[in-house]
Amino acid sequence: MIDAWKMTGRSTPGQLCAGTVSLAVVFAVAVSQMAWRSTGEPVPPVLLPVAIVTALVVSIPLVAVFVAAVFAMKRSNEELSLAKEREVRRSGELAVARDALADLNRELEYRVARRTKAMKAALDRAERASTAKSTFLANMSHELRTPLNGIVGYAELVTTRDTLGVGMSPEKIDEYVATILSSGRHLNAMVSDLLDLSRIEFNEYDLNRERVDINDVVRGVVKEMAPVTQARDQRVEVVASRDLPRLDSDYRAIRQIFANLLSNALKYSDAGQTVTVAATVDGRVMRLSVSDRGIGMSQDDLKRATQPFAKFSDAHISTGQSIGLGLSIVKRLCVLLGGSFTLSSAPDAGTDALVTLPLAKTMTTPVGGDTELALAG
Q: Where are the domains of the chain?
A: 1-134, 135-201, 210-358
What pLDDT does 372 receive? 30
Query: 58-67, 162-171, 285-294: which has the highest mean pLDDT?
Result: 285-294
| Superfamily of domain 210-358 in the CATH hierarchy | Histidine kinase-like ATPase, C-terminal domain (3.30.565.10)
- 23 versus 354: which is more confidently predicted? 354
Angle at 174 between CA 170 and CA 179, to 5 degrees: 150
Residue range 135-201 forms a domain whose CATH class is: mainly alpha
Q: What is the CA radius of gyration of the chain?
A: 52
Higher pLDDT, 344 or 318: 344
pLDDT exceeds 60 at position 328? yes
Lowest mean pLDDT among 196-200, 247-251, 256-260, 261-265: 196-200
| Across 201-205, 319-323, 373-377, least confident range | 373-377
Label residue 268 exposed, middle or buried (CB < 10 Å: 0-12, 13-18, 19+).
buried
pLDDT tens digits along 101-110: 999 999 999 9
332 in Cβ contact with 198 (< 8 Å): no
Cα angle: 339, vertex 341, 342; to 5 degrees:
140
Query: Has residue 111 got a pLDDT over 90?
Result: yes
Share of the chain above pLDDT 70, in %: 76
The predicted model gives 347-372 an average pLDDT of 67
Is the C-alpha dihedral spanning 120, 121, 126, 131 positive or negative?
positive
247 by DSSP, 3-state: which?
strand
